[in-house]
Structure 1
């Protein structure tokens, strides 16, 4: 199964941890996202190619295990991380890195053409996708035991001045461009759709699915999953009082006419809340470490008994479960 995920804006280190967690999986994944301003150093990077301290321009500096040298990631740039099984040369066990890089480049070239920016191509000496003499997409990968990590970074409409603080990809003479700079102003959502479509053609022959953290209709980030189940208000600060994510999940589960939360429940439905010292100790540990538990997210009535015995079930990827089982109340 090939699984496409649009994750919105994710810190670089968090995305790297997620990739590493997916590598042992038998499924193939494509993570599509943006990063906050970040400079990354590949395995061949020279620190002299960082012309200013990253912090002085509001960016983070991260050394990573991809191939290549120094590059920039930031808002307005679509980053794609395919975590997939890469076939070996002539069906053998040795992966062909050059062929893999070329396949990523071709995917981006085809997606750009779909979006009306024809003419993007490979460079005869350098990796990535180029538009004329300027690089529009960087490619840096890592292959280990037939599985891929890292991938490509396509400039949709980023702040190109951030590239002026580095020798991008170790090429002092190279210019960097973007889709917007070349006259194609499209939304990030349109680019995600184009790239995802081409990726499904390439890797989805055995079945595929796509999920997103963004409402596919309104395009607004569903931040309730990251704000205790509440939706962000349109004002500068504060959240709305209604736990809208929970309400939506209840509606999806067919629970439309439940009792109001303030209504007294029948005795047979009520579970005694036995909050003894053992329960409270585990609760302090969970809260102190900022952990997310299935016990709380699913509203499990056995939480008092289990926690009193020192047992809790954690969601290692945060507040949302990737299984998306239709019968379960845990957020997806």
Structure 2
């Protein structure tokens, strides 16, 4: 029986995020194929010569990155298919040339399906066209470590070939570079990615299971028209709007929480108001507010009430943000101490307007809580800080007990549901935090148009990224301007989700219709800690 190849079309992905994800998957097991485009980036292999970069990359809007693959300098950018296979390769004396030859063959077969004849040129790794006047159309740079592969190929589809004029491509000064478009083949990177994935799976004897951004298996046949940007994005991603739940339709009983504001709830509400604090419980319209506040648990939202992003599921205000309040961390700490909380959750709006994305405010709040009540454990639910490793380090250095960052939805629906975020970036944030020794946590919503198989793949990706705690809950539409509910998942389906996630190795899984990121947060942290001590 053939092994499974998990194919992921990630779209435009920062080089650092892709590299982190590669290394994480390389440390694990299984076969993966990451397909993507990079923003303008020049990468230097282990044998690269700095003089082969002819300009300051910043002057042409590019980054320069030294990396651990073989080869000299090359260019990555929009319109270029980059493929990173992470697969097992037999350890033999000639492992690397054998593997490179197989990649060349996959590229040649892929180009042949678009009626473009290509070949390998002795002494020059990569793939070429036109034997009479060879032009390089695809570069290969790989690394094999402990019998597993890293890095891969870059195939020019509609690439701006002018960007190669700023370097000596692959250290070869006398042979030009070309693209499929320059050779008269007009096709999208996504279409080439599909063919490459299929040819790779066949060549390596693997059974492909694919997922991708805006990459539906089949576009639904429907006549309904999208009336908003949200609906247009969902329709592009393959969601049938005609089957969505009408906004005013009555919800099933299992997603209608009982709201009982007893004395504990009213006291916490009074204290939050008195200290001029914000809770995500109120701002996001959480259905568990009554239950959590009754237990003396609340999720404090820092860095203001206005978010710089406009995720299609969230009720938080997206107007222009105000300056940070320097006294906010101390007031959150005062509330935690007054409530005598053993476990506190701190989240924030996204602040892309700030140089550090609000990371320092997270760090100050963690430290203030630890100072006010040293025994309190702190969970932080952070944004992605636009992928800044330095911003993430700022938060981690403050010593949170749990680092939570939500993936939110399956890969296909990412661009439709959270257009300012990125699937690979979120996985990279979680991977970096776990690699630094922290307990990591993430959450998913269902009911946006995903399938069970897609949900399984997303949970598998989170497990591969080292996540310990998982929450899965039903999406509830805040207003008619937000993403529609595709369907309500039944409680029995949440039981199936919990069972599958547990099999994947998560230390704690909260899967229920009303589960949210911070629901039973202390319970999840306790369970993860106990299982870690037993391991």
Normalised-by-shorter TM-score class: 0.7 to 0.9
1:266 shift after superposition: 3.3
1:49 shift after superposition: 0.5
Partner of 1:223: none
**Whose radius of gyration is greater, 1 or 2?**
2
- Whole-Å Cα distance in 1 between the matches of residues 407 and 71 of structure 2? 43
1:105-124 superposed matches below 5 A: 105-118=104-117, 120-124=118-122
Q: Does 1:62 align with 2:65?
A: yes
CA contact (8 A) 1:2 1:204 kept: no
Partner of 2:251: 259
- Whole-Å Cα distance in 1 between the matches of residues 405 and 64 of structure 2? 32
1:152-301 superposed matches below 5 A: 152-205=153-206, 207-216=207-216, 217=218, 234=229, 259=251, 265-266=257-258, 271-274=290-293, 275=297, 277=336, 278=341, 281-284=344-347, 285=362, 286-287=380-381, 290=384, 292-293=404-405
Q: Does 1:49 align with 2:43?
A: no
CA offset digits 1:166-188 (Å, max 9, x no partner): 00100111100000000111122
How many residues align? The count is 286
- Whole-Å Cα distance in 2 between the matches of residues 24 and 57 of structure 1? 35
CA contact (8 A) 1:87 1:146 kept: yes
- Whole-Å Cα distance in 2 between the matches of residues 163 and 148 of structure 1? 26
CA contact (8 A) 1:294 1:313 kept: no
CA contact (8 A) 1:295 1:313 kept: no
CA spacing shift, 1:280–1:26, aligned 2, 3 Å: closer
Higher helix share: 2
- Whole-Å Cα distance in 1 between the matches of residues 209 and 256 of structure 2? 42
> Which of the residues 450, 455, 460 maps onto 1:323?
460
Q: Does 1:314 align with 2:437?
A: no
Q: Which has the higher contact order (CA 8 A, sep 6+)?
A: 1
- Whole-Å Cα distance in 2 between the matches of residues 168 and 243 of structure 1? 40
Which ranges in structure 1 are unaligned for 5 or more consecutive residues? 220-230, 298-310
CA spacing shift, 1:289–1:67, aligned 2, 3 Å: same
CA spacing shift, 1:272–1:243, aligned 2, 3 Å: farther
Which ranges in structure 2 are unaligned for 5 or more consecutive residues? 221-225, 261-286, 299-335, 348-361, 363-379, 385-402, 410-437, 445-454, 462-471, 473-492, 498-510, 516-535
- Whole-Å Cα distance in 1 between the matches of residues 211 and 17 of structure 2? 19
1:52 shift after superposition: 0.3
CA spacing shift, 1:218–1:266, aligned 2, 3 Å: same
- Whole-Å Cα distance in 2 between the matches of residues 43 and 103 of structure 1? 22
- Whole-Å Cα distance in 2 between the matches of residues 20 and 193 of structure 1? 23
RMSD: 3.9
CA offset digits 1:55-114 (Å, max 9, x no partner): 00001111000000000000000001010000133xxxx561111111101100011001
CA offset digits 1:239-271 (Å, max 9, x no partner): 78x9999x99xx89xxx96629xx974359965
Q: Does 1:36 align with 2:173?
A: no
SS of the residue corresponding to residue 173 of structure 1 reads coil
SS of the residue corresponding to residue 144 of structure 2 reads strand
Alignment TM-score, normalising by the size of structure 2 = 0.48
CA spacing shift, 1:9–1:272, aligned 2, 3 Å: same
CA contact (8 A) 2:383 2:405 kept: no
CA contact (8 A) 1:67 1:142 kept: yes
